[in-house]
Chains A and B, each alone.
Chain A
Amino acid sequence: MTSALSTEHFTATQNACKLCAPLGAALVFKGIANTVPLLHGSQGCSTYIRRYMISHFKEPLDIACSNFGEDTAIFGGGANIKLAIDNIRRQYDPDLIGVATTCLSETIGDDVPMFIRTYQADHRDEDLPALVHVATPSYQGTHMQGFHGAVRALVSALAEPEPAREPTRVNLFAGMVSPADLRALRTIIASFGLTPVLVPDYSDTLNGPLWTEYQRIPEGGTPVAALRQSGAAAASIECGLVLAGAGETAGTWLHENRNVPLHRLGLPIGIRQTDRFFDCLAALSGRPVPEKYTAQRGRLLDALVDGHKHLNGVRAAIFGEEDLVAGLAGYCGELGIVPVLCATGGGDGRFARTIRRVVPAAQHDRMQILEDVDFVDIEKALADMDVDLLIGHSKGYTMARRLKKPLVRVGFPVHDRVDGSRLAHLGYRGAQQLFDRLANTLIEEKQKSNAVGYTYY
């Protein structure tokens, strides 16, 4: 096989480490109750994105489309979006239709907000679903911009003005995490006597049971009514150390327009970030951290002490979405793993300094941080790095296979394992699971390469 790694700098992208913006937006809309995502563009986008996300979540995941044809591309998609909304209403009777644009409708300059206003005016006497639009041209940013953009769009379109403050209501903008993580965070917040409103919350819609009765749209998700009340919350928590530097998010919108205090934390990965998350909830609720979480934390630390020998000094490469990588890098620092390479396909300029902030200074000179890169760049950087372990999503498998290094799968997409939607990363229990998976992977490597076959580690 010819080597991919001979040119110094690549103009084009080979084996990308990022996905496109409408995917992120569609995922967010799947986390709102009784909602149909609608991509405004050609049908391939909705088919590809459905197909791709389903391979990770292994759940029904419908995304409608306004089905541009060649004439639509020339004359504009106004008629198509109207017809699409009509048909979705008839078939699904949704509470919300989330409209995300594609590069096609963005390139021709369709004025989707105007289309929506016209539709609402034409049907003013009807019981209309909420119609929320987010601009997601895939030639700007990555799936994460689409994700965060859609969260902001939902809140800014729906949060009612001058709400009566509800002291126990807390908005949580957790970012693109797994259904298992969302479930964990919801439980944690509720255990402080707070009422969590997760935007989005696809923990049930994308990780549900078999149905004993027909469901038009899979049950679960944050109700539209809760989004309308999001301005009434006592606080918003927004997770993501990189996101925390973003100027325009759902959290900043609510802070600026509805006066909702904003707490910008990291993803609660590992000990320090999870401690901060619990501290924040304790402060918001005025209640102590429930005993069971202190116990979880205690057991985690106990396991870390017991298993430190397996992880200390291990050299890992982490790749994926910025905030997940930043969170994992911080946790690796706590575990004694040296994150010798932190890489992302995104590139908003804040990644490198965020990573340096969470990784112990002593490790900085052994660490390379890459932004806006593809897998060719990552593999090239790894060529002379001698890593022990790769931490990232399934698209890193080809690289792992060539490098003959184990890959611990995290985040999205995970389509070569069965547990993509059940992977836990957050909270003390998520940290525990991650620790167990990392340590076991390393032990297994040792066993595989050992001639005798020892069984005590």
Chain B
Amino acid sequence: MAMGAKNNKPTKTVRPDPKDPATIKDRLLAKYPPKVARKRAKQIVVNKVKPGGDVPVISSNVRTVPGLIGQRGCCYAGCKGVVLGPTRDIINITHGPIGCGFYSWLTRRNQTDPDSGDGQNYMPYCFSTDMQDEEIIFGGEKKLKQAIQEAYDNFKPKAIAVFATCPVGLIGDDVHAVCREMKAKLGINVFGFSCEGYKGVSQSAGHHIANNGIFKHVVGLDDTVKEGNYRINLLGEYNIGGDAFEIERLFEKCGITLVSSYSGNSSIDQFANSHTADLNLIMCHRSINYVAEMMETKFGVPWIKVNFIGAAATAKSLRKIAQYFDEPELTAVVEKVIAEEMPAVEAACADVRSRTEGKRAMLFVGGSRAHHYQELFNELGMKTLSAGYEFGHRDDYEGRRVLPDIKVDADSRNIEELAIEPDPERFNPRISEEKKADLEAAGLKFAEYEGMMPEMEDGSLVIDDPSQHETDELIKQFKPDIFCAGIKEKYAVQKHGIPLKQLHSYDYGGPYAGFKGAVNFYKEIDRMVNSKVWQYMRAPWEEHPELSATYAWE
């Protein structure tokens, strides 16, 4: 790497062999009190893939220990910020004191194209009831009603959603009752989310609550079947840096009709008739699998896991769609598109790879990106030393095969599971059981996600919900060539002379999805891991103090 060893003072401790992850695990835990160390030890796992794909158990989706500075957000952040945030034409009102609304005000980089709909876009706005003392003491329902009324009077939106923050649950405001009342009064869709920040153990609880809310209040409201062939929904794609635009471009080129996206570049009308699609594609399994499952149970829409991060993965995902619809015409177009797109990608990769081959990466992001982005690093010839999720569950690590074994703890039990039944009129299995069996025999897996760990090398460290302290230790021990995480880790990691690529916001770059995105990513990683800046970290007189002391005239 650019920061050559000669620029560093010899460290006091001998650098451990990176091939011994167990030693490094011990170092990560060394400072914790025994009880904390025991808990964290279950969340730090040395990967080992057995024949058949079994991997070690990793403890995840458990509460972060107080005082360990983690990177997780809260239930509200997952519900309002992540899942509902990218939908441009719902007015989202935060019911609570000012902070929560302010910090989630256009903070994530989900892009939207208002002109592709009716021009309504409320994403640049931040609506909050800005609760004061008075509401905490006497209740905030009255102010919430006024806030909804005002939002309606000013904008005449199609829908208003209300998000509860911590104090709301405690003082007993009934956001759902207020929403029902205002819905009846205004004649538009008004619905609430009990996504108080203290619920669950991370933003993951908020994703689930958001999924439930959209399914209960929006999905199925419009039975219009969109024109076009091969109607699909893309779930768990949030259009960070314009990823969805690139994926939409590919769908269009292939003649695939996108009914709804959850929720990058989306509108509420798309959710309302998303149940008319014939296939659900899941990108981020963690944040959105609930909607896919509920839609399958109620309306008969099957789902498959896809990944548009990485050129090979993109090609594979497009082929999966073609395989599902099983129409020679679609298969031909998909192959033609792949053939058209790949040469530029391969040329870019070949150029960059000469400078990235053999370099080492670490990824600690969200609930799917830490997995998906390994594809791009593989394409660059880079090795993933260690990876983990902020808020993933065991199924995201080990695959859905472990779902029956997951113990539901008190924190998860408090998040409602909707009881869904097939819709008496509209349940319509999109393919027959025989056809499904044929496709499965041919390798297309339905309702399956194999997880991150089976695809990682033996000996790599898998770390769930890493703390800042562990992050510091990790980079000290491994000195990776690049670290992928978010803005909270970025500047700490870079202080150590290791570039950090933000995979939440993309460092305001992107898109990285699809074929064009892959090329963007190759170039970005080339720029970062081959930067020359690190060699200047020490001034010459710091590096060679003896020189400054031996000038002849002194």
Using CB atoms and an 8 Å cutoff, list the residues of chain A in contact with chain B. 1-4, 6-7, 10-16, 18-20, 22-23, 38, 41-52, 54-55, 58-73, 80-81, 83-88, 90-92, 102-104, 107-108, 137-140, 142, 208, 210-216, 218, 395, 398
Contacts and interface: CB of A to CB of B under 8 A. Distances in A.
Contacts of A104: 166-167, 170, 197-198
Interface in B1-52: 8-9, 31-33, 36
Contacts of B487: 51, 54-55
A83 B67 CA distance: 7
B548 interface: no
B199 A43 contact: no
Contact of A72 (B114, B120, B198): B198
Nearest to B414: A70
8 contacts: A1-B119, A13-B101, A45-B197, A48-B100, A90-B32, A103-B97, A107-B171, A139-B132
Given A139-B97, A210-B537, A48 B103 contact: yes
A52 B103 CA distance: 7
Contacts of B146: 11-12
B17 to A, nearest CB: 20
Contacts of A70: 198-200, 410-411, 414
A69 B198 contact: yes
A140 B121 CA distance: 31
A58 B495 CA distance: 11
A139 B100 contact: no
A59 to B, nearest CB: 5
Contact of A42 (B104, B119, B198, B476): B198
Contacts of A102: 166
Nearest to A89: B67
Interface in B181-215: 196-202
Given A48-B100, A51-B487, A6 B130 contact: no
B99 A60 contact: no
Contact of B147 (A12, A54, A63, A91): A12
Interface string B87-131: 000000100111111111101000000100001110011111111
Nearest to B96: A103
A88 to B, nearest CB: 5
A341 B407 CA distance: 59
Contacts of A19: 98-99, 102
Contacts of A83: 65-67
Contacts of A69: 63, 198, 201, 411
From A43, A80, A87, residue with most partner B Cβ within 10 Å:
A43
A214 B33 CA distance: 22
Contact of A73 (B68, B103, B169, B490): B169
A42 B166 contact: yes
B542 A42 contact: no
A212 B73 contact: no
Interface in B257-284: none
Contacts of A23: 99
A140 B67 contact: no
A67 B166 CA distance: 13
Nearest to A58: B491
Given A14-B127, A16-B126, A2 B490 contact: no
B252 interface: no
Nearest to A206: B491
Nearest to B77: A44
Interface string B124-162: 111111111101100000010011001101111000000
Given A4-B125, A69-B63, A104-B198, 17 more contacts: A1-B114, A2-B156, A12-B129, A16-B128, A19-B98, A38-B67, A48-B100, A51-B486, A64-B66, A65-B66, A69-B411, A73-B198, A84-B67, A85-B67, A87-B65, A137-B97, A211-B496
5 smallest CB-CB distances across A and B, nearest first, come from: A44-B74, A20-B99, A87-B67, A12-B147, A84-B67
Contact of A48 (B104, B467, B491): B104
Nearest to B199: A70
B65 A67 contact: yes
B159 to A, nearest CB: 14
Nearest to A14: B127
Nearest to A91: B469
A410 B464 CA distance: 39
From A54, A61, A395, residue with most partner B Cβ within 10 Å:
A54
A48 B77 contact: yes
A63 B66 CA distance: 11
Nearest to A65: B66
Contacts of B64: 43, 67
A11 B128 contact: no
A51 B313 CA distance: 31
Given A12-B143, A213-B9, A90 B33 contact: yes
Contacts of A20: 97-99, 102
A42 B170 contact: no
A73 to B, nearest CB: 5
B10 to A, nearest CB: 12
Contact of B150 (A10, A16, A87): A10
A65 B65 CA distance: 9
Contacts of A140: 132-133
B33 A86 contact: yes
A139 B167 contact: yes
Given A19-B98, A91-B469, A104-B167, A67 B124 contact: no
B417 interface: no
A85 B472 CA distance: 20
Contacts of A43: 64, 70, 72-74, 197, 202
B74 A47 contact: yes
B154 A16 contact: no
A379 B165 CA distance: 28
